[in-house]
């Protein structure tokens, strides 16, 4: 018999009938960030920024110092979160300025690049003018205030210096959208705006070295309201500018943006180009937000009303515009981005972020979930676009908060860094555990480009063991599933099989990593591959009938003389073979009868029975036939033999009517009237052959 119940593992390599891979990349919320000292109306998430292992989140209306003491209304704070080894973001530090004061609104703007943070305070207070603060990372990973930045000369104290800030390497740009004068502190135009450039000198001090204004500056443009820097390029917007290129195409509050490049030789920023939307309209506020990465910029226009074809006007649905730098160093509009499902007052483009592979655009007053269902007014959303093979930005995913609620303003601020994203929801009320409601305390959400586990199933064939059972593990179904995010756990919904499962069974393999679970279906084919168990008749001596010299071989299977067993009970489609075949005529002599049973699985069992054929039972008797009697006859449990002296038999053989010997008894020590028990026999008629030497007598016995 083959030992199949241990061999099923070997068949995995040979019965790999199909492989089913499944993988997908998604943008997924992985952390909700709330301040440990959160308070009513802090509006955490007013501004957000990321760089490497750090994310910074502003709460300009926070009232307390780092110890939760010394109340100063709306003094402001910025919270620093750090990514740990498990990709979880934990609050690392709360920073405030050394000279905090009421209504300072510290955190109205923020940016981070590697080991430098810049925080803007654009509000004029009773004690100080607008300013910005530089924090740098110390060796023990604490962020330390190293400098306060203010303008050296200003035409007024309410320039909103610090309204937006940007930092990269040794460069800091600080917007002052209500500044009045030009770079020479002349030609005042109210709120025309300016940007101040600070450069870090060799001693580590940030020095104001340049004031930037556009060549076509105009009254109320708010130049510097949004800005971004990348290497030697900068984008600065003027969302309230009404003039087109070269002063043409006047469009009230259509908005504009300016590209500047840094000249390493002169160590100055130079205006390269003014850009506007090709489909600009009144009050679009093109330039409300912006970001730059390499040779691409994204500019938000939150009040834009039209679709890609300039049609289907929806008030303040919003849009964003992509500009690229061509081979002639000219910036051109390459794409207009709108939401797949636009609605009135969504304000797509209120916030934007861009990196090498992704664009994220906030729409803080958008109402629907990611499936455009379950309307919750101004719950907010963000849209992530991915660059395709042609270099165009293609919609990847709409993102909403997992705990979205009425008026949360999710997407009020956004940023992107590598595979990570952050979105602020300034009016969110709950903490990171969705508990302890505090109105408008605010929240920030960390999202990550996540590759779902790659799950690969394989179909397998297994064989029941000698007990009619078999167990499998998830590893048996798995065929190389993996996750790039973390270690994986494997699970299957069925692991035990028995005779009732013979055939094909669907098994679900579930792969889980630290973020997600995915599954695939596998077919487990269960086979009873055991050998049949067969029991042949005992070796037998038969006698020919009616004086014949031959014996007709019966069908032992049909007569029920062959006993079979299977671990799974009765089997269908069993093949039986008997050699010699039933009906064969055999002469007197000794033969071997072979029996073969074959199951549907192809396995078979063989056994043999020794058959001796003798002459027919005769009526030869002792000299005195009446000298031997059998009684009682009929009988239910025993019979006795009574014989004349010196005529006592030597042996007794008991046969059924087919001539099969049932038992044989040695009577050498037999005494008259001694019972011979037959209670184990079935009811019926039997033949008794009593012999002494060569002489014998035949008697019939009826068993009740």
CA angle at 586 for the pair 580 and 589, rounded to the nearest 5°: 110
Q: What is the CATH number of domain 4-23+453-527?
A: 2.60.40
Which residue, 43, 55, 198, is CA-closest to 117? 55
Checking if the pLDDT of 14 tops 50, the result is: no
Q: What is the CATH number of domain 533-614?
A: 2.60.40.10
pLDDT in tens, 462-510: 988 878 899 999 999 999 999 998 999 999 999 999 988 988 999 999 9
- pLDDT category at 154 given cuts 50, 70, 90 is low
Domain boundaries, the chain: 4-23+453-527, 25-451, 533-614, 625-703
Q: What is the DSSP letter of 474?
A: H
Which residue, 606, 604, 460, is CA-closest to 530? 604
The sheet carrying 109-113 orders its strands as 109-113, 116-121, 131-137, 143-149
Range name among 5-14, 48-57, 271-280, 630-639 with the lowest pLDDT average: 5-14
Rounded Cα distance, 314 and 311, in Å: 9
Q: Does domain 625-703 have CATH number 1.20.810.10?
A: no
DSSP 273-298: EEE--TT--TT--EEEEEEEETTEEE
* Tokens matching residue 387: 């660059």
CB 225 within 8 A of CB 233: no
β-strands 381-387, 393-399 pairing: antiparallel
pLDDT in tens, 540-571: 888 776 666 788 888 888 888 888 777 776 66
Which uninterrupted H or E stretch holds 185? none
**What is the value of pTM for the model shown?**
0.76
Q: What is the CATH number of domain 25-451?
A: 2.130.10.130
Rounded Cα distance, 307 and 174, in Å: 33
CB 77 within 8 A of CB 441: no
pLDDT in tens, 623-658: 445 567 888 989 989 988 887 665 666 788 888 776
Percent of the chain with pLDDT over 70: 91
**Would 4-23+453-527 and 25-451 be classified into the same CATH topology?**
no
* Tokens matching residue 473: 């593990």
Report the pLDDT value the prediction gives residue 547, as an integer from 0 to 100.
62
pLDDT in tens, 567-611: 776 666 778 889 999 989 888 889 999 989 887 777 788 989 998
Rounded Cα distance, 650 and 300, in Å: 119
The whole-angstrom distance between residue 570's C-alpha and the CA centroid of its chain comes to: 44
Q: Residues 96-116: what's their mean pLDDT? A: 97
Per this entry, what is the length of the chain?
Answer: 704
The sheet carrying 460-463 orders its strands as 460-463, 517-527, 503-512, 489-492
């Amino acid at each position: 018999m083959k030992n199949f119940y241990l061999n099923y593992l070997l068949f995995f390599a040979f019965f790999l009938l199909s492989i089913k891979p499944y993988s997908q990349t998604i943008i997924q919320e992985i952390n909700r960030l709330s301040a440990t000292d959160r308070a009513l109306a802090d509006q955490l998430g007013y501004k957000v920024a990321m760089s490497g292992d750090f994310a910074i989140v502003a709460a300009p209306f926070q009232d307390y110092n780092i110890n939760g003491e010394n109340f100063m209304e709306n003094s402001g704070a910025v919270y620093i979160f750090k990514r740990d080894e498990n990709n979880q973001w934990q609050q690392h530090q709360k920073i405030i300025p050394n000279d905090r004061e009421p209504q300072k609104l510290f955190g109205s703007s923020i940016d981070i690049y590697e080991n430098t943070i810049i925080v803007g305070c654009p509000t004029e207070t009773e004690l100080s003018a607008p300013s910005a603060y530089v924090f740098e990372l110390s060796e023990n990973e604490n962020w330390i205030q190293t400098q306060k930045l203010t303008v050296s000369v200003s035409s007024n104290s309410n320039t909103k210096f610090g309204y937006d800030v940007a930092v990269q390497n040794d460069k800091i740009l600080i917007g002052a959208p209500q500044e009045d004068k030009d770079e020479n502190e002349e030609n005042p135009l109210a709120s025309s705006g300016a940007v101040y450039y600070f450069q870090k000198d060799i001693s580590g001090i940030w020095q104001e070295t340049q004031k930037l204004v556009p060549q076509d500056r105009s009254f109320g443009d708010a130049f510097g309201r949004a800005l971004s820097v990348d290497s030697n390029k900068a984008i600065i917007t003027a969302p309230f500018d009404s003039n087109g290129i070269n002063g043409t195409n006047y469009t009230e509050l259509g908005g504009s943006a300016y590209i500047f490049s840094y000249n390493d030789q002169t160590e100055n920023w130079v205006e390269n180009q003014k850009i506007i939307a090709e489909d600009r309209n009144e009050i679009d506020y093109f330039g409300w937000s912006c970001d730059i990465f390499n040779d691409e910029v994204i500019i938000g226009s939150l009040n834009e009303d039209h679709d890609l074809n300039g049609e289907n006007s929806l008030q303040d649905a919003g849009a964003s515009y992509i500009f690229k730098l061509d081979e002639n160093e000219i910036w051109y509009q390459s794409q207009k981005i709108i939401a797949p499902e636009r609605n009135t007052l969504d304000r797509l483009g209120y916030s934007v972020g861009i990196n090498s592979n992704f664009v994220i655009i906030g729409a803080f007053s958008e109402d629907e979930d990611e499936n455009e269902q379950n309307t919750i007014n101004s719950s907010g959303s963000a849209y992530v676009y991915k660059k395709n093979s042609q270099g165009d930005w293609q919609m990847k995913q709409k993102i909403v908060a997992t705990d979205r609620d009425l008026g949360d303003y999710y997407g009020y601020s956004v940023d992107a860094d590598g595979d990570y994203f952050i979105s602020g929801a300034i009016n969110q009320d709950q903490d990171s555990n969705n508990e302890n409601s505090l109105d408008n305390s605010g929240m920030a959400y960390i999202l990550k480009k996540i590759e779902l586990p790659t799950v690969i199933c394989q179909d397998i064939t297994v064989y029941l063991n000698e007990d009619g059972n078999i167990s499998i593990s998830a590893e048996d179904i798995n065929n190389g599933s993996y996750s790039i995010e973390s270690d994986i756990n494997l699970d299957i919904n069925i692991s035990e099989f028995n005779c009732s499962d013979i055939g094909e069974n669907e098994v679900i393999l579930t792969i889980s990593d630290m973020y997600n679970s995915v599954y695939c279906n596998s077919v487990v084919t269960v086979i009873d591959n055991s050998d049949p168990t067969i029991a042949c008749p005992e070796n037998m001596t038969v006698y020919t009938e009616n004086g014949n010299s031959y014996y007709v071989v019966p069908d032992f299977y049909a007569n029920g003389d062959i006993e079979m067993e299977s671990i799974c009970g009765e089997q269908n489609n069993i093949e039986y073979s008997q050699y010699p075949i039933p009906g064969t005529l055999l002469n007197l002599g000794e033969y071997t009868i072979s029996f073969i049973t074959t199951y549907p699985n192809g396995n078979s069992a063989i056994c043999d029975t020794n058959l001796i054929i003798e002459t027919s039972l005769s009526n030869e008797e002792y000299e005195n036939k009446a000298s031997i009697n059998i009684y009682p006859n009929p009988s239910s449990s025993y019979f006795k033999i009574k014989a004349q002296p010196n005529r006592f038999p030597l042996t007794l053989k008991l046969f059924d009517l087919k001539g099969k010997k049932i038992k044989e008894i040695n009577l050498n020590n037999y005494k008259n009237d001694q019972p011979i028990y037959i209670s184990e026999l079935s009811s019926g008629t039997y033949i008794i052959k009593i012999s002494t030497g060569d002489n014998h007598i035949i008697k019939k016995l009826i068993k009740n």
